[in-house]
Amino acid sequence: MFAKQIQWRFLRKLRLHSKIQLFFALLIVPITLIFVFIFLRMYSYNRQYDILIANAAEAGRFSIDFKEKFDQKIYFLFVGRSDFAEAQPYKDINDAKGIVAELIHNTNVTSNKQRAQAIMNMLENLNIYVNRIEENQKESGHYLENKAIWEQDVQTVTSLITRYVLEYTYYENLGMEELRDKINKNLNAMVWISVTVFAGIIPAALLVSWRIARGIAKPIYRLNAVTNQVAAGNLSIRVEDLLGAEVSALGESLNAMVQRIERLVSEVKSDQEILRKAELELLQAQINPHFLYNTLDTIIWLAEDGQKQRIVDVVKALSDFFRTSLNRGAEMVTLREEERHVRGYLQIQKVRYQDILEYDIDIPEKFYNVMIPKITLQPLVENALYHGIKNKRGKGTVLIKARNDGDSVILSVIDDGAGMTAERLQYVRALLNEIPLSARDEKNHRRDIYGLYNVSERIKLKFGPQYGIYISNSDAMGVTVNIRIPMRYP
């Protein structure tokens, strides 16, 4: 019962044209399958029948007078009325072997395969007897011996060959009779199957057509009732549980419109902005502990391995990293400080992932005093490492570049890692640009792009909606994340 309800809900969620296509598919697909099945069966029977006819025809190539002609040809040879060059008895035997080989290959009757193989063996013996007569002809005085070979051997073998060929033909014809009976039985079965399928299709088509009509009309009535209440001033009402893709899209659009109106009326935009700031600051505070744990593990590993100088390098990089992160509580730092911060992060990660990670930072000095929200580059580099480089076979590279674009600075974080699928890239762009998604998709994907979303929102809150993050797949492999910030100085 539960499975049936799920099936009907799935049907009612389809688009109108999909429902109509499904309705016709319900009619056309079974009919097509029946015709294809009948065609394939008839084709198979026709192939079998053709093989049987071909086998009977091949067997018929052994003419009824094969024995008489061949026996006479051998008789003329040993009495001297003909010679081997003129009579060519070996050619007759080889031609017969070719026919028998086809009979062996084509027949599906086990006993006929055995008969044809026996004929092939007899032809080999016949070849031996003819060869013996030919050798005797080279010397005189072998007339009686040749006559005995002809009477006792050659004629006996040709008689057996003729008999076996007739038996082969008989059993092939018997197979045709059996195939005809089988075809008749299967045709009757296919007729009954067709009748049964059509008997099931008609009620199913009627039921589906009724469900489709009901699924179109009922959601429209419910949507009309909601719009009437909205027109009367009830902005708290929402369209819920509308089934049918087109009507659901209308309902979602109506909900979005009412929600915007309600938001403007209640004037809660400032409160939401404050809340978002608090959430983003909390997310920012959560970055450091995870990184610290991993770095301390790396230091322990280096200490156990006795690599003192590398421990010093890692601790110095960690010190630079946290000095910039804290920055006496300031939210904005210069690009020079941000570069020092991300370089310390990459130096530490280079120790941990020395086999797979390379990096290069190319930020011209003219941009060093440009102001930027602190901890902007590090989350993007971390994302490139964990979602790009680590998911790629072999070594990968993270590049950080800076260039100016009018009154803006474009910072690029480029990796040659695993990259993104087109669908994934579309969702990430939608979330970063605040394009509405379904609640489930927004929840799942926003969790996956924690760092990207955090950085993008902080930039927009500091500088305005025209700034932020723009993401794309690189030309070859990997992902390019561009950060646009204004060229502002302290």
The domains of the chain are located at: 13-202, 269-486
Q: Please list the alpha-helical segments (H only) found in 80-233.
A: 84-87, 89-106, 110-137, 143-149, 155-231
Tell how strand 357-362 and strand 396-405 pair up: parallel
Q: Give the C-alpha separation, 332 to 324, whole Å.
A: 10
Q: Nearest to residue 10, comparing CAs of 250, 247, 249, 244?
A: 244
Task: Identify the pLDDT of residue 192.
Answer: 79
Q: Nearest to residue 441, comparing CAs of 252, 260, 263?
A: 252
Task: Identify the pLDDT of residue 217.
Answer: 66
State the DSSP code for 327. Answer: G
Q: Give the C-alpha separation, 89 to 68, whole Å.
A: 13
Mean predicted confidence (pLDDT) in 115-137? 86
> What fold is seen in the domain 269-486?
Heat Shock Protein 90 (3.30.565)
Which of the two residues, 444 and 41, has the higher pLDDT score? 41
- Which of 172-186, 428-442, 453-467: highest mean pLDDT? 453-467
Q: Give the C-alpha separation, 174 to 168, whole Å.
A: 10
Tokens of 66: 């094969």
Tokens of 113: 């395969």
pLDDT band per the 50, 70, 90 thresholds, residue 481: very high
State the DSSP code for 237. Answer: -
Q: Which residues contact 434 (CB under 8 A, 6 or more apart)?
A: none
Report the predicted TM-score, pTM, of the whole model to 2 decimal places. 0.44
Mean predicted confidence (pLDDT) in 246-262? 73
Task: Identify the pLDDT of residue 159.
Answer: 85
Mean predicted confidence (pLDDT) in 331-352? 89
Tokens of 97: 């072997």
Question: What percent of the chain stands above pLDDT 90?
Answer: 12
Greatest Cα pair distance, the chain, in angstroms, is 132
Q: Can you give the length of the chain in residues?
A: 490
Q: Give the C-alpha separation, 52 to 174, whole Å.
A: 10
Q: Which residues contact 381 (CB under 8 A, 6 or more apart)?
A: 342, 345, 346, 359, 398, 400, 413
Please say whether the beta carbons of 73 and 82 come within 8 A: yes
Task: Identify the pLDDT of residue 355.
Answer: 87
- Which of 78-92, 139-153, 183-197, 383-397: highest mean pLDDT? 383-397
Tell how strand 468-473 and strand 396-405 pair up: unpaired
Task: Identify the pLDDT of residue 233.
Answer: 74
Please say whether the beta carbons of 401 and 414 come within 8 A: yes
Sheet containing 396-405: order of strands: 357-362, 396-405, 408-415, 479-486, 468-473
Continuous segment of H or E residues that includes residue 441? helix 439-448
Q: What is the CA radius of gyration of the chain?
A: 44
- For 348-383, what is each residue's pLDDT tens digit? 888 888 889 999 999 999 999 999 988 889 889 988
Tokens of 376: 């902007």
Arithmetic mean of pLDDT over the chain:
77
| Range of weakest confidence among 74-83, 179-188, 362-371, 398-407 | 179-188
Q: Give the C-alpha separation, 78 to 137, whole Å.
A: 7
Is 32 a residue whose pLDDT tops 70?
A: yes
Is 169 a residue whose pLDDT tops 60?
A: yes
Give whole-number Cα distances, 368 to 47, 78, 377, 379, 393, in Å. 82, 115, 14, 20, 35
Residue 41 burial by Cβ neighbours in a 10 Å radius (0-12, 13-18, 19+):
middle
